Amino acid sequence: MSRGLLGCLVVGAIVLFLAIVVGAWFVGIRNHVVELDQGVKAQWAQVENDYQRRFDLIPNLVRTVQAAANFEKSTLEAVVNARARVGQVQAPAAGGPPTNSNLPNNPNAMAQFANAQNELSGALSRLLVVVERYPELKSNQNFLELQSQLEGTENRIAVERKRYNDVVAQYNTAIKKFPASIVAGSKFPEKAYFRGAAGSEKAPEVNFNPFGQPAPVPAPATGT
C-alpha cells in the first residue's frame, strides 16, 4: 500500500471520527433542548388545567349566589363579564387547535391571557367579599363547597404558575448558552414568562372573619 493511499485513509478516518463526534454532540444538545421544551409545554398544560377548573366552577358559583335575595347585580355582572373575556382569550383559532396552547411562544398573547385571568381573579375576590353581607349564603352548604373548591384551585394555580416560570427559566438559560444557542437556532424560540399583576403570586383570600370586617386597630395609648 502506497504512502499516499495510507495517508488518505488516515485523513478519511480522522474526518469520519470528527463527524461522528460532532454529530453525537449536536444530537445530544438538541435532545436536551427538546426535553426542556417539552417540559415547558407539559407545565403550561398543567397551568391551563387549573385555570380551566376555575373557569368551570364559576357558573355554579354565580347560580348559587344569584339565589340570594337582592344580591348586588353589578358584582355578579363583573364576574360573568370577566369570565367571558377569559373565554375569548382561550377561544380556539378557526379550524385549528386552541390558541393558548402556543402562548409560551407569544409574549403579547401571554400578556393578554394573564391580564384576563387577573381581571377574573379580582372580580371573584370582590364577589366573595360582598358575600359576607348575606348570612344565608354563608350558611349555604353548596356555596361553602364551591368556595372551598375555588380556594383550592387558586392555590394550585399559584403553585403551577411558579413551576411554569421555573421550567421556562431553565429552558431560556439553556438555549442562550453557547454552543446550545447555535443548535437551538430559530426552531426553539425563547419562552414567555407568566407575569401576573402585582401581588398575584398570592392566592386570593377566600376565608373571612365572622363579621366580614378586619379586626379593629386599638387606639394608641395617650400619656397622662
For 37-93, how does the pLDDT look when each residue is reduced to its tens digit (9 = 90+)?
Answer: 999 999 999 999 999 999 999 999 999 888 877 788 899 999 999 999 998 886 554
One-letter amino acid identity for 8? C
Higher pLDDT: 74 or 200? It is: 74
200 has pLDDT over 60 = no
CATH number given to 26-187: 1.20.1440.20
Q: What is the pLDDT of residue 208?
A: 37
Locus of grid cell 383559532: 93
Mean pLDDT is lowest, of 42-51, 95-104, 199-208, for 199-208
d(CA 188, CA 186) in angstroms, rounded, equals 5
Higher pLDDT: 101 or 108? It is: 108
Where along the chain do its domains lie?
A: 26-187
Higher pLDDT: 73 or 221? It is: 73
For the chain, the average pLDDT equals 80
For 115-161, how does the pLDDT look when each residue is reduced to its tens digit (9 = 90+)?
Answer: 999 999 999 999 988 888 888 888 889 989 998 999 999 999 999 99
224 has pLDDT over 60 = no
